[in-house]
Amino acid sequence: METNDTIAALATPPGEGGISVIRISGENALTFARGLFHSIFDISKNIPPAQKVLFGEIRDPESNRVIDEVLFTWFKKPNSYTGENVVEISGHGGTQVSATLLELILRQGARLAEPGEFTRRAFIHGRLDLTQVEAVADLIGAASDRALNSAVLQLKGALSRRINNLLDQLLAVQAQLEAAIDFSEEGLTFQSRETTGQQIKELKNEIFSLVSSFHQGKIIREGLRIALVGKPNVGKSSLLNALLQEDRAIVTSIPGTTRDTLEERIRVKDIHIVVTDSAGLRDNPEIVEEQGIQRTRNALAQSDLALVVFDPSQSFDGNDELLMNEVGDRPRCTLLNKSDLEQKWEKKKIDKFLKGEKPISISAKTGAGMPDLSEAIYNFAVKGEQAGESIFITRERHRDHLQQAATALDAAYTNMNSGYSEELIAVDINLAMEHIGSILGKTFAEDLLDKIFGEFCIGK
């Protein structure tokens, strides 16, 4: 991917709309636009005022035909999104007009931008670090208020500042170790090994606290994945319909009606939730039903939370036992459905499975207990945290690097207490610094950048 040429792309979604915005970035952005834009302010002879909007026309330089009336904005480097010279042309939203405007710009010598290339250039020019780059993608894809707030905080540099602070502290520890190595024979007094060891321990604990925030951060970014599981005919599909507040799943009195998984999206307060209805778990199913049950097991394995549905209005049987064995110790919320019907067994039947958990009594048919269920789902998702300025890591990449950094620091702390030399401890500290730096992009591999920036649309 060349970074010295001038690129252009449609920065708004294709198709019909109120406006379309074409972005041009690079050294020749203004030069390429000069032959196309005409207004009272003559940009062919004068530099337009930076970050001021001009009204005018785009004309085909060959035929002088007016293509569109537009708004023209000039951003002089480095005060632009990419850190380069940037021109943004806002025209009427329409497939043909946008394509024609972009074609004219490319004809002047610009190159069509690749996916994520504008944001990649912002990274290259130091306008954004990698956590902020990822926050741009999260901002675009935010499906809830909490996801939006988290992305904005990260884009503003909240996570970057915390990671940079970790790097500064690691650098201070490394400096002490290097000084002790290089000047051990100079008769100088250095920081005690006990003090250095304590610093390493505190850094390790701080990193682990960030790692532990991934549970909620992932839910904020991707949504909470819930699997509805239970034996046949306990009311899972009715529960899905109750959560959706619409008749989405087929409901009959015939056991085994649901043969496949059905995935739907809902909102509980400010949390985005993906709910999967599944085939009932039972012994000796039919061949087709067995395939559905396997998909149920897959949905359960991939879920963040299982809603385990029992029906005390039916006789307690081996399929209830099978359900408890399948769920095991997975994160769950246990539901006693059909509370509107006569109950044939009591909670004590599943006390061993509950292990002190308080099940929620509901009726998917009448809506009884549904507010309690919604509250339980929300509390699991936020883990007691309230929306605000809390910093969460939201990506597997961040968690992996932080875990490896913490592992390196744990080795450094152990080696320090075991009396190993500063040289060996410094190797572990340097490894931790490399992993922390990789989160920000201070050390990176080209294939990592390709993966991150490939998530973007062309116009970003």
End-to-end CA distance of the chain: 15
Question: Taking each helix axis from N to C terminus, what angle separates 130-141 and 158-182, rounded to the nearest 10 degrees?
Answer: 160
- Return phi, psi of residue 365, to 5°: -75, -45
- Return phi, psi of residue 308, to 5°: -90, 115
| Structural domains in the chain, sorted by start | 7-127 (3.30.1360.120), 133-213+393-441 (1.20.120.430), 220-382 (3.40.50.300)
Low-confidence stretches of the chain (pLDDT < 50) are: 249-259, 387-388, 444
Residues 149-171 have pLDDT tens digits of 889 999 999 999 999 999 989 98
Cβ–Cβ < 8 Å for 264, 275: yes
* Buried-state track 392-408, b at ≥16 Cβ within 10 A, e below 16: bbbbebbbebbbbbbbb
Sign of CA dihedral 252, 253, 257, 261: positive
Residues 343-356 have pLDDT tens digits of 999 889 999 999 99
pLDDT at residue number 387: 47
Q: Collect all residues with Cβ–Cβ distance below 8 Å to 391 and sequence separation of at least 6.
A: 153, 158, 159, 162, 210, 213
pLDDT at residue number 184: 57
Residue 308's nearest CA partner among 389, 361, 370, 229 is 229
Alpha carbon separation from 1 to 7, 111, 112, 114, 441 (Å, rounded):
11, 11, 11, 8, 18
Cβ–Cβ < 8 Å for 130, 440: yes
Alpha carbon separation from 122 to 10, 85, 116, 143, 428 (Å, rounded):
17, 11, 10, 25, 32
Predicted model pTM:
0.77
φ/ψ region of 116 (left if φ > 0, alpha if ψ in -120 to 50, else beta) reads left
Q: Collect all residues with Cβ–Cβ distance below 8 Å to 429 and sequence separation of at least 6.
A: 170, 173, 174, 177, 200, 408, 409, 412
Task: Please compute, for residue 456, the number of CA atoms within 13 A of its CA located in the half-sphere on the CB side.
Answer: 26
Residue 91's nearest CA partner among 67, 116, 111, 117 is 67
- Which residue is it, tokens 């002088």? 64
